[in-house]
Amino acid sequence: MNRAPQDVNPPLPTEPQGLAAPVWIKRGTPDYWRVSVALFLAGFATFSLLYCVQPLLPELARTFAVSPAQSALALSVSTACLAVSIVLAGALSEGLGRRKLMFVSMALAALCNLGASFLPQWHALLAARALEGLLLGGVPAVAMAYLSEEIDPPGLGFAMGLYVGGTALGGMLGRVGMSAMTEFWGWRHALAALSVLDLLAALGFVWLLPNSRNFVKKTGLGAQHHLQAWGQHLQHKGLPLLFFIAFGLMGVFVSIYNYAGFLLSASPYNMSQLEISHIFYAYLLGTAASPIAGGLADKLGRGPVLVAGTLLMAAGVGLTLFEPLAVIVTGVVLLTAGFFVAHSVASGWVGRLATQSKGHASSLYLWSYYMGSSVLGAGAGWFWSRWGWLGVSSVALLVLTLVMALALRVQWLSVQATKGRLA
């Protein structure tokens, strides 16, 4: 029985023609593990910095006397600016190189977060979070491009999964650690301590990561080059579908976590900040599920694993509609596992479909991903203010239904591509 190929479109022409064959980093070698650990640290630092304010939203609402929807801007402005800077960073990395850009972005973002911890005014805090989002854009798109360029294709799924696992652990510790430290030291000291930890992670990253072997620096690239590269990816049959999938996956994920804190801190649960933070331990499943999903995608094909992850998310959201606390927590766990399965597979698929200008393709995927976080994460506050948790979860299920349709469409394109090659 023939297995479905990983691409849904004939590969784009490689660029430039006539280059020597790539010198891949093969799975199991020392360099493979150096890359994997370094990118794990990059994912950890980036996402702990980005999401450390999420468990603080009720605390920020009280401290600065703002509404729940307004407090969500502390996260949404960062992800919106990150979405913009990712597009620019993916383009800049084609001329500046991957390793240096990622390190500088991580280090400056950590210093910016440290400064934000001492700001007394709400709008100043939002401005600092916006700047932090702009700085962090130099990591995610470039990390995906680096892995796609340097890792031997049979080992790419596992390496990409480990990177996404690092983002999961960073997201979890950024949230749980912030909640625990806030309980004892206050949120300002907690924010400062996390910033120092992430600065150390940036130093570990640059020490471990090998220089690029297959990256070809491109100089004199004007706006026309970047527009052409983005346009070529948007004309691809499969890539735009993955971009829309990223928007929906991340939007639902952030919306549920943004307002779960408000749900659980109110009656009948009346949970404390520290107690609410325990739901973020669900991120441990993301750490484990991501590399497993990547490995399964390498063996079984990306389509079935992507569909399964989306279904798992929908099941999790459905469970949060029930009142018992144990059922809600189970729903959040399923949502988290499904999200990291789906995101790991979709992000790796982008790297395989885009055979040229990978930084541009990755940046478009992540632009969609973080715009989903900003638009749906903040927009869900409107539904929360009017219909409570029922409004938030209903929107989430509607979006996941659309994501499922798109995932099935990508799978169908994959099957059609197989039939065309076998005809």
Residue 36: pLDDT band (50, 70, 90) is: confident
Residue recorded with tokens 């939002």:
126
* Highest mean pLDDT pick, 62-71, 197-206, 281-290: 197-206
The pLDDT value recorded for residue 417 is 62
Query: Is residue 217 a part of any domain in this protein?
Result: no
Per-residue pLDDT tens digits for 372-413: 988 998 889 889 989 999 999 999 999 999 999 998 888 787
User: Would you state the structure tokens that stand for residue 211, as one six-digit string?
Assistant: 């220089």
**27 neighbors 146 (Cβ within 8 angstroms):** no
- Average model confidence (pLDDT) for the chain? 83
- Kindly tell me the burial class for residue 365, based on how many C-beta atoms sit within 10 Å of its own C-beta (0-12, 13-18, 19 or more): buried
Query: Is residue 5 a part of any domain in this protein?
Result: no
Query: Is residue 93 a part of any domain in this protein?
Result: yes
Q: How many CB atoms lie within 10 A of CB 226?
A: 20
> Which residue segment(s) compose the domain that 302 sits in?
30-210+227-422
Query: Is residue 8 a part of any domain in this protein?
Result: no
Query: Is residue 25 a part of any domain in this protein?
Result: no
Query: Is residue 218 a part of any domain in this protein?
Result: no
Choice between 356 and 183, residue whose per-residue pLDDT is larger: 183
**364 neighbors 341 (Cβ within 8 angstroms):** no
User: Would you state the structure tokens that stand for residue 416, as one six-digit string?
Assistant: 């059609």
Choice between 91 and 29, residue whose per-residue pLDDT is larger: 29
Residue 215: pLDDT band (50, 70, 90) is: low
Amino acid at 341: V
**85 neighbors 133 (Cβ within 8 angstroms):** yes
Tell me what the mean pLDDT of segment 296-320 comes to. 89
Q: How many domains does the chain have?
A: 1
Tell me what the mean pLDDT of segment 93-117 comes to. 85
Amino acid at 326: A
Residue 205: pLDDT band (50, 70, 90) is: very high
Q: What is the CATH number of the domain that holds 342?
A: 1.20.1250.20
Going from the C-alpha of 360 to that of each of 115, 149, 367, 368, the distances in angstroms are: 31, 13, 10, 13
Q: Which of 302, 321, 223 is nearest to 5 (CA)?
A: 302
User: Would you state the structure tokens that stand for residue 179, as one six-digit string?
Assistant: 């909640």
Query: Is residue 148 a part of any domain in this protein?
Result: yes
Residue recorded with tokens 């969609």:
368
Residue 18: pLDDT band (50, 70, 90) is: very low
> In angstroms, rounded to a whole number, what is the distance separating the alpha carbons of residues 232 and 227?
8
Q: Which of 160, 177, 174, 172 is nearest to 284 (CA)?
A: 172
Per-residue pLDDT tens digits for 60-86: 888 888 888 888 899 999 989 988 887
Query: Is residue 88 a part of any domain in this protein?
Result: yes
